[in-house]
Amino acid sequence: MAFWDSIRDSLGGWRGSSAQFDSGSAATNSIELTKRHPTVSLGKQGADTGSLRVNLSWRMRTSDIGGRQKHDGNFLSRPLKFFQPETVQAHTQGVVNVDLDLGCLYELKDGSKGVVQPLGGFFGDMNGPPYVKLSGDDRFGAPSGETIFINLDHREEIKRLLVFVYIYDQTPAFDRTHAIVTLYPSNGPRIEIALDERAPQARSCAVFTIENGKEGLTVRREVKFVYGFQAELDRLYGWGLQWGRGYKTKA
């Protein structure tokens, strides 16, 4: 077998073994919200009932690795290293740990407002107001990430929701992470929103909103980074809550 045929076969085998981890926009069972296509109607998708699962997952990246270009110089001496996943290569370089947290501002039709988040232990309620529940607080960037559940069987009581991500009490490092928020409706394709814009000094990011309008529930991509925390997101979207310093309970 020729050398390049061997390389090609190795690449094909690697792609096959890692396909189960591929959650890119090319997947046929997903919808990616982008700047050009920022909205999707849950009602039109027949996905406005049952439990909507919202997952935040991320992995760290080294500072400006530059994709594959950094390895071009020694490609001939170690050709197979060219095809190693970047996550494997990153283990041998400096990595900054970061604790990303998932939260949700809510406003119900009866006028009640509040937040679901790890800070302060506001984990919400699935079967009662606000019909939003945070499953837990992942502080280690595990593959499962963090998850919020939204009970869409009570959609008529929900006016609007804002799902956001923030960095708790650490150096801002959104530019050092590959983060993605994925919505899993009870029916239809999943919805993906990548936090792919560089914002080195930002501490919080408004990821998406869900609004209950004339056409039912609509998801809108936001991906707006701010340099403060929840209070700044509140002002940006006009929630009108009062904020104080919050703390996490010790694990």
DSSP result, 171-209: ---GGGEEEEEEEE-SSS-EEEEEE-S--TT--EEEEEE
Q: What is the pLDDT of residue 85?
A: 41
Dihedral sign for Cα 23, 25, 28, 30, please: positive
Which residue type occupies 115?
A: V
Q: What is the pLDDT of residue 64?
A: 43
Q: What is the pLDDT of residues 101-124, one digit of tens each?
A: 899 999 999 999 999 998 888 999
> 94 pLDDT band (50/70/90 cuts)?
very low
Domain locations in the chain as residue ranges: 3-11+63-90, 33-62+95-237
Residue 132's closest CA among 119, 116, 118? Answer: 116
Q: What is the pLDDT of residues 174-228, one digit of tens each?
A: 888 888 999 999 999 999 999 988 788 889 999 999 999 988 999 999 999 999 8
pTM of structure:
0.73
Tokens of 16: 């096959």
> 77 pLDDT band (50/70/90 cuts)?
low
User: Cα separation of 154 and 210, whole Å?
Assistant: 13
Q: Which residue has the higher pLDDT, 119 or 54?
A: 54
CATH architecture of the domain formed by 33-62+95-237:
Sandwich (2.60)
User: Cα separation of 225 and 182, whole Å?
Assistant: 18
